[in-house]
Each structure stands twice: as structure tokens, then as C-alpha cells.
Amino acid sequence: MTENISYHDAEINSIQKVDHTLLLGGLLANNTPFLIRFDNVIGWDLDPFEEQNVIFDIRNYAVSQIPKWITENFEIPVQYFECLNSGMYQFYFIEPSVGLGGYIIASELSQGSTGGQTTNAEL
């Protein structure tokens, strides 16, 4: 990750998919706008997108460290594990306090403030 930003209590208010990029935007607990960009996304399982979508934590697990409760509660396709085992992709898990949660498999995550602009990124 490029910066050490705490997403605890941040609220996700937008999801955008552009080609193989997934963008999550919202407000940090201090009301600073943020944008998280996942590049070369091969798959995800995110739900439910609710009126409020508050993050407890975002974790990056090595394939051998993905908790059993995640693999039991999400139907993660075998081909995703093959991609993760190649070392070219990462397993990111959004743990919600309320609302949106789930996993994203992508090659990279970049993050930052949107500087007060809208959460639509220039790609």
C-alpha cells in the first residue's frame, strides 16, 4: 500500500468498475474523501451495498493465511486460488462494521485522498 491510511469507521459511498479496475470511494472518519483503487481485478464478492457501509478494517491475506471462516462463508472459485498461488494477485478482504463487505482479488491496491474532489478517478 502506498500510504498508511486508517479506514476504520470510514464510509463507502461509491463503487465503480472501469475495465479491470475497481474503485471504492467515500469518507474517512474525519470526513476526508478517499479513493481506493484495485488494479487488474479478476474477481470479487461484495455485498450488501446498504444505506450505510462502514468499514471495520481492510486486510490483505496471503493465500495460505485466508481465515477458514472466509473460505466457508464465500464461494471462492478454484481458479482464483490458482491466480493467488501464482504470486501475481493479492486477496483483499473488506471487513464491515455495517453494510458492504467481502473480498477482492487484484494485483495491486492504491489508496489516497481525493483532495475534496468527487470519487470518480482519472484512469
Domain parsing of the chain, residue ranges: 11-113
Q: Whose CA is closest to 80, among 44, 50, 47, 51?
A: 44
Per-residue pLDDT of 33-90, as tens digits, reads 999 999 999 999 999 999 999 999 999 999 999 999 999 999 999 999 999 999 999 9
Grid cell digits, residue 108: 495491486
Question: In the prediction, which pLDDT does 31 show?
Answer: 94
- For the entire predicted model, the pTM comes to 0.86
- Cα torsion for 5, 2, 61, 118, to the nearest 10°? 60
Contact between 70 and 93 under an 8 Å Cβ cutoff? The reply is yes
